[in-house]
Structure 1
């Protein structure tokens, strides 16, 4: 089983319209409401692919109750920590031309007691140990949680015998590296921020991933947007691409990639190929809909150990 933890989950409302006119009344052609947050999306993608998963979440207010209900309807186990604040609601506006505008709420502030209780909830025997293959910790930390919170969580999970994947950024990522997470999944911007310099080529990204490994990450799975994905580990480095003809929404695409990676074992070129297939499928679906096996196109994925280090990264 793969357990996910999302310290700052959300309800995600997505509106699809032809074009966004600022300062005017806009009418959506379609809209949808999905449970959100990076770890939540990983659980949703895992469930869509037929894997067993439980989502660990701090939830509060009517929005928190609705989020839990939506997850249960999708067959996802929910381990909820009741909190005093209300779970946040995020809004995405997807235009027909592919432009996506997002408004993410800050979310509730967790008390010291709630922070400690969330760590204890993840540390329970039900969620760590021999029955759990991976625990994926995903997203930004809510107000009230120190940057070192993820580092303590990594230590507790390793003590319970499970492997841990970490998808966060900034001080929380850097603080957690000393606890040696089994894999970290930054995107290009987050990787550049972690090493303090821009990344112009694939070689730059490889060097940056190597620096994160020296700081403690056992593997670095880097999303490079339209330029594909990169995996750097002790066993070797691999680079892959999966062409996409049209992007409908990139909300949750990185989370789908992580789910594909973990579901395929969480290491090596086969897992990288699964990550690419899941991410490419996700961006062609509306809102934050997660891909099913029928949406995947493994034949379109290319993975190589012969890295084109001088390749210029777009964007």
Structure 2
């Protein structure tokens, strides 16, 4: 069972437009509303793939109630922690060429009591969890140490923990030795404090995170593929994608695929890339089902192209 923790969930609206032009009245060709937040998306992807999952998240106001309703409609179990603030609403505008413009709200400020209630909910529901996926930015009111405290509690409950966050929260949590961390290229560059221009640069940065405490590093390099740097070695995978419709939630789908496939080794990396590649070809933050996956399009190798220049170098 994959338990997810999303400290700052959202209600996401996605509009598809022919062209985004500033100052103009735009007519959307389609629009959709989804429950959002990185951990929420991991639960949605795991559920779509037929795996058991439970989403722990703070919810407040009408948007929070709608997030819970939308998750229930997808058959996802929710363990809500009621908060006084209102769950944030985000807007994404997608263009036909795959360009995505996002406006993300800040979200509510959690009190000390609400923070502790969220940790307590994780403790209560983690007894039968194989993995706990802690994902996304922290809301106002939670210190960068919050994820580190959660890692300690997760390990005490006997669960493995995957962490997808960045900045001070990531660095603080590394000291408590999370089993897997999942940065993208920009987050990886930020963590080590230098630009990443090649795949080899990304490998070196991932090794540094392992030295700081990460059990394994699953690093997304965007269109260039993904790296897994772990005890089993360094593995690289990529997949051919014909049309990109939206990259919202693609990294979260990738993490869900990785954990559902066991969370270690080249086979799990292949599942991660298959899920991520399928997700970017779907609208909004729609999560892929097994019928959307194309495992044959994924290539996994231990012959890592260290000298390959990243399509989008990370500063």
Partners in 2 of 1:243 and 1:226 — Cα distance? 9
Gaps of 5+ in 1: none
Deviation at 1:128, TM superposition (A): 1.8
Partners in 2 of 1:97 and 1:204 — Cα distance? 29
Deviation at 1:108, TM superposition (A): 0.3
* Aligned counterpart, 1:246: 243
* Aligned counterpart, 2:103: 103
Summarize deviations over 1:248-270 as a string: whole Å, max 9, x none: 00000000000000000000000
* Aligned counterpart, 1:278: 275
Determine helix, strand or coil for the equivalent of 2:197. coil
Partners in 2 of 1:167 and 1:99 — Cα distance? 23
Deviation at 1:303, TM superposition (A): 0.4
* Aligned counterpart, 1:4: 4
Summarize deviations over 1:188-223 as a string: whole Å, max 9, x none: 000000000011111100000000000000000000
Partners in 1 of 2:294 and 2:78 — Cα distance? 30
Q: Write the mapping of 1:112-191 to structure 2, written as runs, cut at 5 A.
A: 112-124=112-124, 127-129=125-127, 131-191=128-188
Partners in 2 of 1:151 and 1:123 — Cα distance? 14
1:224 lines up with 2:221 in the alignment: yes
* Aligned counterpart, 1:41: 41
Partners in 2 of 1:193 and 1:147 — Cα distance? 15
Determine helix, strand or coil for the equivalent of 1:89. strand
Deviation at 1:184, TM superposition (A): 0.2
Deviation at 1:132, TM superposition (A): 1.1
Determine helix, strand or coil for the equivalent of 1:314. strand
Summarize deviations over 1:66-105 as a string: whole Å, max 9, x none: 1001101101000000000000000000011221100000
- TM-score after normalising by structure 1: 0.98
- TM-score after normalising by structure 2: 0.98
Partners in 2 of 1:314 and 1:95 — Cα distance? 20
Determine helix, strand or coil for the equivalent of 1:164. strand
Asked whether the 8 Å contact 1:201–1:309 carries over to 2, the reply is: yes
Deviation at 1:111, TM superposition (A): 0.6
Determine helix, strand or coil for the equivalent of 1:66. helix
Deviation at 1:164, TM superposition (A): 0.3
Asked whether the 8 Å contact 1:133–1:163 carries over to 2, the reply is: yes
* Aligned counterpart, 1:313: 310
Determine helix, strand or coil for the equivalent of 2:309. coil
Deviation at 1:308, TM superposition (A): 1.3
* Aligned counterpart, 1:255: 252
* Aligned counterpart, 1:201: 198
Gaps of 5+ in 2: none
1:15 lines up with 2:15 in the alignment: yes
Determine helix, strand or coil for the equivalent of 2:310. coil
1:300 lines up with 2:260 in the alignment: no
Asked whether the 8 Å contact 1:182–1:219 carries over to 2, the reply is: yes
Determine helix, strand or coil for the equivalent of 2:255. helix
Q: How many residues align?
A: 312
Root mean square deviation of aligned Cα: 0.6
Determine helix, strand or coil for the equivalent of 2:170. helix
Asked whether the 8 Å contact 1:18–1:97 carries over to 2, the reply is: no
Partners in 1 of 2:95 and 2:237 — Cα distance? 28
Summarize deviations over 1:12-60 as a string: whole Å, max 9, x none: 0000010011111111010000000000000000000000100001000
Partners in 2 of 1:309 and 1:21 — Cα distance? 39
